[in-house]
């Protein structure tokens, strides 16, 4: 394995990962419409389950918890979720405004997930029963998302209609989806390793590194997962990625960390990181409730992330 702590190697990993992610996301999108039609469900529902899964986030979170690096373990949960809402959603909307009509119950699940995650930071150390409860909440939340979106007619763009008219065969759709999903995982891993190598040697406070810089490096591909579908007219896919990823971060990943590797909870996580996540998630929910994320709303979310990073510089 190359030494990713070397800046040039890390930068190479980061750049190659981005290219792989873009190509893989496009493959995933081409096959997703056909797979959704084959299963008789919406592309939103398929994206919630498949694209929302962040294998590298779960791996880093559990591994960090096992090694006792609590700042990074909890950073994959709260720092990753804040990055998802503020940067991935905000930056992509700043470039390609998001227009999608989500079912109201779906938005309520999206809003409730980070609030429910707060039960994990109520004690000085994560508790295994809480982890089990969060995993149950994840299953219920995902089931609710699939149920609520089943009969909903999403905003359909002209680009999406064109893709549906030219949809490949079912076998090719499945292959494109699987190849795209695998490519997204590989690309995400390359981006995470490269980004982690670039910031790993920096002399910074552990919580700033764990909550802000490391999650930004690990989850940078989320910006691409948001921007590429929106640019292509798949607004419901971008929205499905955001909603599904939120549940994976704050319920599934957090639940696994608490269940398998309980770590101490820094007071700042309970007093700053969790409330901040609830606040920006509420703001994003309000924007989505009105039919999408405009450019100025995306800029607002980016400014919020700046405040989050500044808060850790001052408080950490």
Query: Is 2 within the bounds of a domain?
Result: no
Query: Is 77 within the bounds of a domain?
Result: yes
pLDDT at position 161: 46
pLDDT at position 206: 64
Residue 292 per-residue DSSP state: E
Count of domains in the chain?
Answer: 1
Stated pTM of the model: 0.77
Please tell me the distance from the alpha carbon of residue 107 to that of residue 109, in angstroms, as a whole number: 5
Query: Is 1 within the bounds of a domain?
Result: no
Number of other residues whose CB lies within 10 A of the CB of residue 39 = 10
pLDDT at position 156: 46
pLDDT at position 155: 45
Query: Is 51 within the bounds of a domain?
Result: yes
pLDDT at position 233: 76
User: Range of 228's domain?
Assistant: 7-315
Taking Cα atoms as reference points, which of 80, 113, 148 lies closest to residue 281? 113
Query: Is 114 within the bounds of a domain?
Result: yes
3-state SS assignment for residue 124: coil
Q: What is the CATH number of the domain that holds 265?
A: 1.20.1420.30
Please tell me the distance from the alpha carbon of residue 57 to that of residue 217, in angstroms, as a whole number: 11
Query: Is 147 within the bounds of a domain?
Result: yes
Beta-strand pair 292-293/98-99: antiparallel
Query: Is 225 within the bounds of a domain?
Result: yes
Per-residue pLDDT of the chain (316 residues; tens, 9 = 90+): 566 667 778 778 767 876 776 677 667 667 766 666 666 666 677 666 665 666 666 766 776 677 676 877 898 899 999 999 999 999 999 999 989 888 899 999 999 999 999 999 999 999 999 999 999 999 999 898 888 877 655 544 443 444 445 556 778 877 887 888 788 677 766 755 665 665 555 666 767 766 887 777 767 777 877 887 788 777 877 888 888 889 999 999 999 999 998 989 999 999 999 999 999 999 999 999 998 899 999 999 999 999 999 998 888 6
Is the distance from CB of 268 to CB of 315 less than 8 angstroms?
A: yes
Query: Is 263 within the bounds of a domain?
Result: yes
3-state SS assignment for residue 263: coil
């Amino acid at each position: 394995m190359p030494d990713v702590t070397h800046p040039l190697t890390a930068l190479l990993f980061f750049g190659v990962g981005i290219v792989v992610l873009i190509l893989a996301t496009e493959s995933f999108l081409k096959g997703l419409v056909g797979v959704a039609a084959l299963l008789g469900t919406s592309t939103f529902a398929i994206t919630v389950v498949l694209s929302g899964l962040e294998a590298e986030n779960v791996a880093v979170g559990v591994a960090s918890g096992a090694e006792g690096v609590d700042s990074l373990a909890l950073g994959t949960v709260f720092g990753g979720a804040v990055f998802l809402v503020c940067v991935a959603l905000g930056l992509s909307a700043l470039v390609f405004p998001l227009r999608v009509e989500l079912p109201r119950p779906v938005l309520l699940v999206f809003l409730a997930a980070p609030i429910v995650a707060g039960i994990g930071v109520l004690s000085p150390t994560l508790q295994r029963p809480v982890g089990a409860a969060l995993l149950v909440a994840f299953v219920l939340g995902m089931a609710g998302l699939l149920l609520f979106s089943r009969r909903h007619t999403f905003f359909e763009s002209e680009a999406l209609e064109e893709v549906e008219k030219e949809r490949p065969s079912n076998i090719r759709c499945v292959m494109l989806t699987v190849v795209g999903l695998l490519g997204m995982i590989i690309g995400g891993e390359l981006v995470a390793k490269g980004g982690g190598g670039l910031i790993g040697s920096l002399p910074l406070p552990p919580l700033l590194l764990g909550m802000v810089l490391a999650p930004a490096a690990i989850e940078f591909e989320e910006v691409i997962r948001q921007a590429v579908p929106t640019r292509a007219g798949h607004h419901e896919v971008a929205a499905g990625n955001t909603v599904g990823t939120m549940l994976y971060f704050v319920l599934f990943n957090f639940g696994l960390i608490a269940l398998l590797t309980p770590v101490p909870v820094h007071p700042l996580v309970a007093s700053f990181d969790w409330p901040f996540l609830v606040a920006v998630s509420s703001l994003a929910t309000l924007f989505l409730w009105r039919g999408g994320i405009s450019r100025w709303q995306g800029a607002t979310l980016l400014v919020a992330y700046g405040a989050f990073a500044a808060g850790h510089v001052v408080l950490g």
